């Protein structure tokens, strides 16, 4: 996945606050804004949403939009 690519959130892990989960249920589509080292070995993807917030996801939590 690349910066600028539109993605859909397929699932989330328990690290995300309930209010963000609620927003994602309304609109799970966003744009990749960058990368983040998440645990010393893995890379996360920072996704920005139309509602003006952003958060990071593991690649297996996202799906590229056509």
Question: What is the distance between the alpha carbons of residues 29 and 50, in angstroms, rounded to a whole number?
Answer: 8
Give the pLDDT of residue 15. Answer: 74
Instruction: Kindly report the pTM of this predicted structure.
Output: 0.88
Report residue 20: phi and psi, to 5°.
-75, -40
Kindly state the greatest CA–CA separation across the chain: 32
Give pLDDT tens digits for 25-48. Answer: 999 999 999 999 877 778 999 999
Taking all residues of the chain, what is their mean pLDDT, rounded to a whole number? 91
CA 62 distance to own-chain centroid: 7
């Amino acid at each position: 996945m690349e910066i600028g690519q539109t993605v859909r959130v397929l699932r989330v892990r328990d690290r995300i606050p309930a209010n963000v989960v609620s927003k994602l249920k309304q609109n799970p589509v966003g744009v990749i804004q960058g990368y983040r080292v998440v645990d010393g070995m893995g890379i996360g993807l920072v996704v920005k949403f139309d509602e003006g917030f952003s958060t990071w996801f593991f690649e297996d939590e996202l799906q590229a939009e056509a």
